[in-house]
Structure 1
Amino acid sequence: MQIETPILLSKDERITLFWSRKERRKWFLSLLCGTCLVYATRTSVPLLMPVISKERQWSKAESGTVLSSFFWGYTLTQVASGYISDRIGGQKVMWIAALGWSLSTFFMPEIVMFLSESDSSISLIAAVRTLNGAFQGMHFPSMISLTSQRLHEPDRASFFSLLTSGSALGTLLTGSLGSYLLESYSWTIVFQVLGGLGLVWTALLSYYSLSLDGRASFNRPIAGHTLPWLALLSKPPFWSCVIGHACQNNCFFVLLSWMPTYFHETFPEIKGWLVNMVPWLTLLPCTFLGKALSEKLVKSGYSITSTRKIIETICFVTQSINLLILARVQTYQGAILCLALIIGGSGFHNNAIAVNPSDLAPKHAGSVFGLMNTVGAIPGFLGVYLAGYILHVTHSWPVVFVVTSMIDILGCVIYLSFGSGQAII
């Protein structure tokens, strides 16, 4: 496989290619809003699942099928959309994706009510959710492609890391606005409002994209070098990174999908906005804390390998312990605190395994991250479905939390045993 490398540009081409300061600010706000809405629409179904499943009389296994189906599509489109974005422009792929996930969200109430009359309603609704996931899976690869082409190299990492904070903002938007609309109106309104906001952003993106048409880009035939796939796949540090990422994602996706249902069934008297918003407030502070701690460890003389393992261990240990406590907690205050700490642990993961591909393959970090993130999304459908199956068979939330904790511990042991911060290819 040929991996493209940046080509040499003349001074005039660089001026035409890269965003000015004003354009950078404009695009940052636009892409941040887009990332926020991607996550807001993504978390709308978990928020509404308790109400929809009760109204439609879905079992836990059926609810798990609908929840997990999103990740089938999300897994399949990441690599391909990044490849296409590099050739036709990330803004074009992002616009197609935004139109798809916005429309499928906006019309989800009609889809659920129409398809519920069919004998194979769950399979058909799951297919629509898979399509929604496929469109959303195109967002981050196309955004990475766009920013890598329009920003100077020193600005790319900080710009993109700030954009990813939109995921926490989107989850908070669903927890606040979505919960308000659900309690004040109905579950159908939540889909229509979030989908409508997505359509407004799609129109804004189309307007901004016109300014890029005809400008210089990297989308032309260039020389490249070969990524040594066989050498990469034979290295234990690579697989420890992939497995650790998948185990942590399993915890994150299970909570993302099932947390509203857990609170609805265990503490039905609690307001939805409280449980769907408060636990997510810890993600951003913990991400910055993990970044600051990583920098301090490196400055203190710790190797990159030790630093990555320390930060990732904080993530896994925090999540594993609090999952076990959550299995025994009796009050909603204790449950919210445990979940806040578990979600906060993901912020440390973003500063360890999530950046590890840059250590392992400095010249091919994008491709290695794409592969890792594709494999890491598999727990989105397997783990979420397994949680639903466990609930269907055992009717026990503690079993779900204990199993999730054990998977976290497995990821921690593997990464501590074989993880590395040194280049392997």
Structure 2
Amino acid sequence: MSLPQMPSSRNYRLAAARTLALAGLLALAAFGAGTAWADGVQQALPPWTDGYLYIHHISTGRGNAAYIVMPDGTTMLIDAGESDPEFVKSVAPLKAFPPLPDGTHSSGYWIANYIRQFAPAGRPVALDYALITHFHTDHIGTIRPTSPMSATGAYRLAGITEVGDLVPIKTLVDRAAPNYTVPVDIRACAKSNGDDGRSLANYLDMVAFRKGHGEPVVGLQPGQLDQIRLQQAQKFPDFHIRNIASSGVIWTGRGTDTQQYIPPDAIKDCHFDENPLSNVIRISYGKFSYYSGGDIPGVPDYTQPFWRDIETPVAAVVGPVDAMTLDHHGNRDSTNGAILRALRPRVIIQQNWLSAQPGEEVVVRMASQEFYPGPRDVFATGMSPETRIAIGPIMDKIYRSYGGHVVLRVAPGGSTYEVFILNDADQTREVIKRFGPYQAH
């Protein structure tokens, strides 16, 4: 969660002057141009059944969380964030989104509540895998003085630690297990890095508890195919998850070979940015493919080293996909031309929680036909009114929805897929828009 560059003061003065006047218009436009579900009557999302792949991008207004139900019912959560209020204060006048569906509970509680609602029926609710892309609080959760203790007494509850107490996690996967020494001693850094460090230290307390009780905690291994795998892999031989990158090591595209892209001596102390070290994966199901890259950047500024551009070498081995989630929430240091040229996504999901997301340059790049031809549909889990005002009409050319849970529903075999937008303002989470079907590549 690095500090984004702030839009100009002129744009913010304009936003302040026009936000109230356009609020009603934005609310009406938020549903995009998709097909109304049953003539505007809200209905439930079709339940998961055998053979379908569901990818739920959960809207909490506070960070990233994606819940995946694979074709055989194997489940995985990617991140469980809850943004740090102190960080938000430090980047004022940028604004965080309001908590969703409301602030009566933490994001960890609401993520677990969401999982319970959409978990495969007829089996115990659990997560076969929880994948943490990196150790920023909008991906793991923020510990506050009021955060309650786990029933175990070993750690406090926020983000992924709270989800894990409410929904059993069978295997926890992150970027640094088992030793937590890459790029430096992460445990030592956690003790010296203030609020962020306390949240990371709390996560490591959960890791230690799990290890002490024989519960698996493993590091993502770049280049590996199906380290994260189906329970019934033989039933769906065309479903795979390829590990693309982790902690600055990137798959070469050949077998399981990797390259050390970030030089091993490039980071020498605790003052480093987690984002380039994020876990990156590619999910494939028949013709369908999906990319998730955590917060990897792709647009370093002039004072930064070459390896701050992780997107370009990652893009070279990922190749075309049908759908992707934007790196780094769509902040302006992400989504460079190389990744758009290589991935050519038909559907783009933006998991965002701050008014700086997306950067205007990112929107321009996504909309450009120069990087790749053809239509593209962008779906955001939220959007600040002032952001839409500042960036302007170009957003409406590519964005189809500006708020709600974004669910990809891939048909058995992976030849077609749909996008559903669910109401994020209450616990019913009914469908408010449907898009597709799209043909997979």
* Structure ID, larger Rg: 1
TM norm structure 1: 0.24
Greater RCO between the two (CA within 8 Å, min separation 6)? 1
TM norm structure 2: 0.23
Structure with bigger strand share is 2
